[in-house]
Amino acid sequence: MKIDRVTLYHLRMSLCTPFETSFGRIHERECILLAVRAEGLTGYGECVADRDPGYAYETVGTAWHILRDFLVPAVMGQELTGPADFQARAARVRGHNMAKAGLELALWDLAGQRAGRSLRDLLGGARERVEVGVSVGIQPSPDALAETVDGYLAQGYGRIKIKIKPGHDVVETRAVRRAFPDIRLQVDANSAYALVPAGAPASADALLPLDDLNLLLIEQPLAEDDLWDHSRLQRRFRTPLCLDESIHAVRHARQALEMAACRVINIKPGRVGGLGEAVAIHDLCRAAGVPVWCGGMLETGVGRAANLALASLPGFTLPGDISASDRYYAQDITHESFTLNPDSTITVPTAPGLGVTVDTAALARFTVAELALEAPHTARHR
């Protein structure tokens, strides 16, 4: 496929309710939507970098720069055989996985549309529906948290993840476990603790009581660049540790398993540079008998559709952070919205490519900046 135009849309979307994690509280989500035109078709991708570098170093600003100045020029006007071909060309850009994944996703959408096949089929997915859960932000009090969790359980979510941070961890988790003794429950610290504290991060010793609360897993307690300390910490827990921020490539996943730094891996296409790498991590973990699940980045309908396709692969044996569209947004940019089935699943799209269509009026409403990049016209006729 020969790409002749790429349009970047910087979006700002209001959240239904503010979302608080150990790295901050947001009321609005920003991201970049990409529209890639080739052979008369338009493929869509989503770059999950946010306004601020709180979850990861990438931001909308850095991703915009890397896409505009390096990744888009590497593919513009070129004859690409597919997403893997793009990754080979993108390898000269070090890092910036979210920027790479956003462009790669649009190429997967194009590849699927051209072949008349769904993204699920292209990736090797099998399931028609995937099990999902909800990620609950930090709440003002343990009672407020239990009440919020109760609301999501009433909506039908069969797995709850609660965000924790120093000072809002064991008491909160215990309150939820007491109120709901049998639910599938897990926690996510987003790197807020340290094995050997030196200054700001609190000691991970504070988390030891969590081991008695029958949690599915404890996600990313320590720093992103800290596989070794995660392996030391895992030895002190019966509960599986799960890595999110630490895993940026299949190589990190292999090393984490070799050093027993975790027993579960959260896979996010944006964090690992795209769906190709996400599938490779899935394959590695499946061969090793290690469960994986699909994380979430408060995606629009575009990124949500991609996550559903990915999570339909057989190794995704734990529920994903792929909630219904209305968990985050009153209005989305796709015509299709995703709803929760009564069995805490969401149905995977099966139409060609991503299987969703972009609502251009909604897109225009959320766009704060737009940039169209075109291939130079090489053939001029007079």
Min separation Cβ 244 and Mg ion, Å: 4
Quick one: angle between helices 142-155 and 170-179, nearest 10? 40
Site residues (CB under 6 A) for ligand NPQ, limited to 149-208: 188, 190
Stretch that binds Mg ion, among 89-97, 115-123, 184-192, 309-317 (CB under 5 A): 184-192
Q: Which of residues 21 and 246 has its CB atom nearest to ligand NPQ in the complex?
A: 21
Site residues (CB under 6 A) for ligand NPQ, limited to 42-61: 50, 55
Amino acid at residue number 245? E
Among ligand NPQ, Mg ion, none, residue 321 binds (CB under 5-8 Å by kind): ligand NPQ
**Residue matched to tokens 């399931």:** 127
* Of 61, 64, 45, residue with least CA distance to 103: 45
Min separation Cβ 135 and ligand NPQ, Å: 4
Site residues (CB under 5 A) for Mg ion, limited to 242-281: 244
Q: Is 2 a catalytic residue?
A: no
Q: What does the alpha-carbon distance between residue 227 and residue 257 come to, in Å, rounded to a whole number?
A: 10
Among Mg ion, ligand NPQ, none, residue 50 binds (CB under 5-8 Å by kind): ligand NPQ
Rg (CA), the chain: 20
Question: How many of the other CB atoms lie within 10 Å of CB of 240?
Answer: 18
Stretch that binds ligand NPQ, among 19-27, 61-69, 222-230, 371-379 (CB under 6 A): 19-27
* # residues near ligand NPQ by CB under 6 A: 15
Site residues (CB under 5 A) for Mg ion, limited to 198-227: 219
End-to-end CA distance of the chain: 27
Min separation Cβ 345 and ligand NPQ, Å: 18
Q: What does the alpha-carbon distance between residue 113 and residue 117 come to, in Å, rounded to a whole number?
A: 6
- Residue 238, classed as helix, strand or coil, is coil
Q: What does the alpha-carbon distance between residue 381 and residue 367 come to, in Å, rounded to a whole number?
A: 36
* Closest residue to Mg ion: CB criterion: 244
Question: How many of the other CB atoms lie within 10 Å of CB of 140?
Answer: 10
Using CB under 6 A as the criterion, what x/- string covers residues 287-306 for binding ligand NPQ?
--------xxxx--------
Q: Which of 100, 161, 163, 165 is catalytic?
A: 163
- Measured in degrees and rounded to the nearest 5, phi and psi for residue 59 equal -135, 170
Q: Is 268 a catalytic residue?
A: yes
- Residue 218, classed as helix, strand or coil, is strand
Stretch that binds Mg ion, among 81-89, 180-188, 279-287, 362-370 (CB under 5 A): 180-188
- 231 within 8 A of 260, measured Cβ to Cβ: yes
Q: Which of residues 188 and 299 has its CB atom nearest to Mg ion in the complex?
A: 188
SS (H, E, C) 151-209: HHHHHCCCEEEEECECCECHHHHHHHHHHCCCCEEEEECCCCEECCCCCCCEEHHHHHH
Min separation Cβ 50 and ligand NPQ, Å: 3
Q: Which of 100, 161, 165, 268 is catalytic?
A: 268
- 366 within 8 A of 329, measured Cβ to Cβ: no
Question: Given candidates 30, 46, 188, 277, which one binds Mg ion under the rule CB under 5 A?
Answer: 188
- Write out the residues near ligand NPQ by the rule CB under 6 A: 19, 21, 26, 29, 50, 55, 135, 188, 190, 244, 295-298, 321
- Write out the residues near Mg ion by the rule CB under 5 A: 188, 219, 244
* Residues designated as active site: 163, 268
